[in-house]
């Protein structure tokens, strides 16, 4: 009787241990590190061959930053000329009723 009780006890311990190993492996698989959106974007941007300027929002290859398209089709691109450079400009993508008028007004405002 003692040997059958020992056998049953050893069998149950092995069965319980197998169950815990199953759950342990199942939960560890879910804990694997998934690459973040930023690291995926960085890897994708590095794989694009561009010998000019690569637009950060759209990954378009253009001649100059001011030629970058807006990331969303409903956006309107406003170009603000650079005071220090004839060829330089800042691009701002906006939405709304006044579109570029507000951007132009704010860019000309003198700050004290």
Domain assignment present for 36: no
Same domain for 57 and 27: no
Domain assignment present for 46: no
User: How confident is the model over 23-80, as pLDDT tens digits?
Assistant: 555 555 555 556 667 777 677 777 788 899 888 888 889 998 889 999 898 998 888 8
Domain assignment present for 39: no
Reported as a pLDDT band with limits 50, 70 and 90, residue 16 is low
In sequence order, the β-bridge partners of residue 80 are 90
Instruction: Tell me which residue of 45, 62, 44, 42 sits closest to 53, measured CA to CA.
Output: 62
Domain count, the chain: 2
Give residues with Cβ within 8 angstroms of 56, minimum separation 6: 45, 68
Range of the domain at 101: 52-108
Same domain for 102 and 62: yes
Domain assignment present for 44: no
Q: What is the pLDDT of residue 5?
A: 62
Same domain for 90 and 60: yes
φ, ψ for residue 86, nearest 5 deg: -70, -35
Same domain for 69 and 22: no
φ, ψ for residue 44, nearest 5 deg: -70, -40
Same domain for 93 and 63: yes
Domain assignment present for 4: yes
Predicted structure pTM score: 0.52
């Amino acid at each position: 009787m003692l040997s059958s009780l020992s056998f049953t006890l050893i069998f149950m311990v092995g069965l319980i241990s197998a169950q815990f190993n199953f759950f342990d492996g199942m939960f560890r698989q879910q804990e694997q590190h998934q690459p973040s959106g930023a690291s995926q974007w960085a890897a994708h941007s590095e794989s694009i061959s561009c010998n000019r300027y690569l637009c950060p929002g759209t990954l378009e290859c253009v001649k100059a930053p001011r030629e970058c398209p807006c990331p969303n089709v409903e956006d309107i691109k406003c170009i603000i000329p650079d005071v220090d450079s004839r060829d330089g400009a800042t691009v701002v993508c906006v939405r709304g009723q006044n579109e570029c008028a507000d951007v132009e007004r704010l860019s000309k405002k003198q700050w004290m």
